[in-house]
Amino acid sequence: MNALLAIIARDIRLAFRAGGGALQAVSFFALTIVLFALAVGPNLELMSEIAAPVLWTAALLATLISLEQIYRADREDGSLDVLVETSSLLALTALAKATAHWISTGLLLTAATPVLALLLNIEGAALWPLILSLLIGAPGLSLIGSFAAALTAALPRAGLLIAIIVSPLYAPILIFGAGAASAGAAGDPQYSANLALLGASSLFAAIFSPLASAAALRFNLD
């Protein structure tokens, strides 16, 4: 347990260093929302209607650009080989690294959402469903992204390949996350169903992604 906590703490520290990915992801998230608000213009009613899908899409893209960093530092300093060779429960190590990515990226994006939501004219009653959907769905994004990063861990520049791999896998989380946020804002009874499906998607990723990530790492480094 101490070893897993050490991995999480180390990855979080690396994420906030220059080039670590966390601050770039938040900056990209904020820039996307600002540009969208400028593009829509003064039509506040339209902006409010499509704010939830826009915020969810921006959060997904911001998460995506940071995925390559999950195993990058370990690959560059050679510690990835040590982790694969010495870890008896490599799936738990992969889970720890996905957790660190979620804390340094997913939680950071969620924390920035209330401020950026003001630019999209989101009402206070609609903000909580949006934040809740991000809290439930963002771990799934990091878990799936961790698998794609493990699958391409041996490649020096795999950002585009990771994006191609995760795009179809991210679709259910995006659909249910944006659907839950929009339904919650409108008081639609589909809110609970979308939220449940979103939670199921993240839970499915939590069960299978660490196992798949461990298998991918062993395959790449054999």
Q: Which candidate, 3, 166, 162, places its Cα nearest to that of 79?
A: 3
Task: Write the burial class of residue 201 (CB in 10 Å: 0-12 exposed, 13-18 middle, 19+ buried).
Answer: buried
Cα distances (angstroms) measured from residue 21 to each of 63, 113, 170, 201, 204: 9, 18, 19, 25, 26
**pLDDT higher than threshold 60 for residue 55:** yes
Contact in structure between 188 and 125 (CB atoms under 8 Å):
no
Predicted confidence (pLDDT) per residue in 20-53, tens digit: 678 888 999 999 999 988 888 877 787 888 888 9
Residues in the chain: 222
Q: How confident is the model at residue 141 (pLDDT cuts 50, 70, 90)?
A: very high
Nearest-angstrom CA–CA distance, 198 and 210: 19
pLDDT for 7 equals 82
Average pLDDT of the segment spanning 59-82: 84
Nearest-angstrom CA–CA distance, 20 and 13: 9
**pLDDT higher than threshold 80 for residue 220:** no
- Find the helix or strand (DSSP H, E) in which 66 lies: none
pLDDT for 28 equals 92
pLDDT for 74 equals 77
pLDDT exceeding 90 applies to what percent of the chain? 43
At 9 the three-state DSSP class reads: helix
Q: How far is CA 163 from the centre of its chain?
A: 12
**pLDDT higher than threshold 80 for residue 85:** no
Average pLDDT of the segment spanning 195-220: 92
**pLDDT higher than threshold 90 for residue 174:** yes
Contact in structure between 163 and 157 (CB atoms under 8 Å):
no
pLDDT for 37 equals 86
Q: Give the range among 1-5, 54-58, 126-130 with minimum mean pLDDT.
A: 1-5
Nearest-angstrom CA–CA distance, 99 and 101: 5
pTM over 0.85: yes
Joined tokens for residue 50:
């499509």
**pLDDT higher than threshold 70 for residue 184:** yes
Q: How far is CA 205 from the centre of its chain?
A: 12
